[in-house]
């Protein structure tokens, strides 16, 4: 699970707000899918650029990109993934974000929902907000642990 940070919480909430406001959303487009939208927020890159970088790797989705990640490959998309990892995300977080299926996040959803559609805008917004809230709740504990170290 991601390392809690205010920067990551803000990125998740900003991404959710942009999606809710009607930004172009296509789960099959690597720059307009769940991870693609977070990359737009964090890297300030255009969807078509993100998509082109991802296709350099010849992977079908962000789960595959995360699995194939190599920090010394020279591929632009690996630089993007390195930026996401530096923000506190894990490769597993990218896999789960693309599929909206991290059980720890799903458990925090209101109404007891335990399954989301990975290609549904409203479900992506709900997942991003739930994740941000979960990380935000962990911030004081994370700060205390860092101070004690």
Q: pTM of the full predicted structure? A: 0.91
Whole-angstrom distance, CA of residue 42 vs CA of residue 80: 9
DSSP labels, the chain: -PPP-HHHHHHHHHHHHHHHTT----TTSTTTSHHHHHHHHHH---HHHHHHHHHTTT-SSHHHHHHH--TTS--HHHHHHHHHHHHT--HHHHHHHHHT--HHHHTTSGGG-----TT-HHHHHHHHHHHHHHHHHHHHHHHHHHHH-
Structure tokens at 51: 């998509």
In the predicted model, what is the mean pLDDT of residues 75-88? 97
Where are the chain's structural domains?
6-148
pLDDT band per the 50, 70, 90 thresholds, residue 147 = very low
Task: Quick: pLDDT tens for 6-19.
Answer: 999 999 999 999 99
What backbone phi and psi angles, to 5 degrees, belong to 69?
-50, 130
Specify the higher pLDDT residue, 49 or 149.
49
Task: Quick: pLDDT tens for 48-78.
Answer: 999 999 999 888 899 999 999 999 999 999 9
Specify the higher pLDDT residue, 149 or 70.
70
pLDDT band per the 50, 70, 90 thresholds, residue 134 = very high
């Amino acid at each position: 699970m991601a390392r809690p940070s205010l920067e990551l919480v803000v990125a998740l909430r900003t991404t959710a707000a942009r999606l809710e406001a009607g930004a172009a959303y296509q789960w099959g487009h690597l720059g307009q899918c769940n991870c693609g939208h977070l990359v737009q927020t964090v890297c300030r890159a255009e969807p078509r650029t993100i998509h082109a970088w991802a296709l350099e790797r010849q992977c079908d989705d962000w789960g595959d990109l995360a699995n194939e990640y190599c920090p010394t490959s020279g591929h632009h998309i690996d630089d993007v993934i390195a930026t996401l990892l530096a923000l506190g995300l894990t490769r597993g977080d990218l896999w789960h974000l693309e599929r909206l299926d991290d059980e720890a996040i799903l458990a925090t959803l209101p109404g007891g929902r335990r399954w989301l559609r990975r290609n549904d805008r409203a479900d992506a917004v709900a997942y991003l907000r739930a994740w941000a809230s979960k990380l935000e709740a962990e911030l004081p504990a994370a700060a205390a642990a860092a101070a004690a170290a």
